[in-house]
Amino acid sequence: MNLFNILDEIETVDPEINERLSPRRDAIKNITSFGSKVAVAALPFALGTMFKKAYGQAASPAVIEVLNFALTLEFLEAEFYNTGKSSGVIPASDKPYLNVVARDENAHVKFLQDTIAALGGTAVSKPNIDLSGGNGSGNGPFKNAFNDYALFLTAAQVFEDTGVRAYKGQAPALKGNQVVLTAALSIHAVEARHASAIRKLRFDKGMTDNKPWIESTLDNGNDTKVSLANGNYAGEENITQGGVNLSGLASTRILTASFDEPLSKQAVLDLLVGSFIVA
C-alpha cells in the first residue's frame, strides 16, 4: 500500500484533506523519511488513527470481523512457516526462498493486529493450532510435515492457495473502503505470489507437474492430486464468469487457470476448524 498515493488520491476528491490531517500528514512524511523499521512498523497504526480522526468514525463491526477472520488465517500460516523454520525440515539451499514467505506471514499478523486496534476493534488472539490437522491430537494427516519436506511443501501450497481464496471471498464485505479494502487486496496479492512461488519450488524439485496457477478439470477443481485437499479447491473448476460461459474459448486447463475462485468465510472455517484449528 502506498500511503502517499492514497493521500494524493483523496486530495483530488476532498480538497480539505490536508487541513483535516495536517499536521499529521507532515508527521507521517517525516516518519518515513527516517526510513527506520520501527517507524514503518508503526505506519498502520498511524494510518488507522489518522483516518478515524479525519472522518470521525471507527470501522464498522463487519469490517473488524473480516480483519479478525484474516488474522486467524495469518496466525495459522505464520505458525506453519515458523515451525518449519525451527524444525530443520527445510534444506539450507531453500531457506532464503522460504524465509521471505515466513517473514510476510508474520508481518501480516502484526499489520492486522495493529490495524484492528487502530480502527477501534479488538483483535482475536491466536487460536489453538494443530499443524498435523488432527484437531488437537497431533496425529492428523500432516503429522509428518516437519520431517518430510515434500509433505511440508504440499501443505504450504494448499495453505497459500486457500489463503488467496479466503481473502478474495471477503472483498465484497469491504467494498468502497479505500484503506481496508486496498490493504486486504494487497495481502491477497502477496498470498498469490507465495502460492505461485511454492508451486514453482515443488515443480523445480520434481515433486509435482503443477504450474504456478491452478489448472482444473471440468469435474475437479483440485490439481494437486492430493484428494485430502479436494475441499480446498472445490469450485476452482468454474468456467462461467459473470454469467458468461467461456466454454470453447480455450482449453479447460487455460480457462480455469485464468480465474481464481473465492471461498466463503464459512467454507474456509469448515476446512480449518476441527482439523488445523482445534474446535
Partner 1 sequence: MKTDFNPTTGGANMARRSFLRYAGASAAAVAVMSAASCTKNDPIIPGHKPDTGGSTDGKGITDIGSGDIGILNYAYALEQLEAAFYVQVVANPYSGISATETAYLTDIRGHEVIHRKFFKTALGDKAIMDLTPDFSKIDFSDRTSVLKAAKLFEDTGVKAYNGAGYLIESDEYLTLAGKIVSVEARHAALISNLLDNGTFVASDNVDANGLNESATIAQVLAAANGFLKTKVTAPSFQYNFK
Cell of 213: 496457477
Number of H helices, E strands in the chain: 11, 2
Q: How far is the CB of 45 from partner 1 (least distance, A)?
A: 11
Residue type, 74: E
Look at the block and give the residue holding cell 469450485.
Answer: 235
Nearer to partner 1, 151 or 184 (CB): 184
Q: Which residue has the cell 487455460?
A: 254
Distance from C-alpha of 200 to C-alpha of 55, rounded to nearest angstrom = 44
Nearer to partner 1, 79 or 105 (CB): 105
Give the whole-angstrom CA distance, residue 140 versus residue 85. 20
Q: Which residue has the cell 517507524?
A: 39
* Residue placing its CB nearer to partner 1 in the complex, 12 or 33: 12
Q: In angstroms, what is the minimal distance from the CB of 251 to partner 1?
A: 8
Rounded to whole angstroms, the Cα distance separating 110 from 126 reads 12
- Evaluate whether 183 touches 119 at the Cβ level (below 8 Å): no
User: Nearer Cβ to partner 1, position 133 or 166?
Assistant: 166
**Nearest distance, CB of residue 257 and partner 1, angstroms:** 6
Shortest gap between Cβ of 172 and partner 1 (angstroms)? 4
DSSP 59: P
CB of 126 or CB of 211, closer to partner 1: 211
Q: How far is the CB of 169 from partner 1 (least distance, A)?
A: 8
The DSSP letter of residue 91 is -
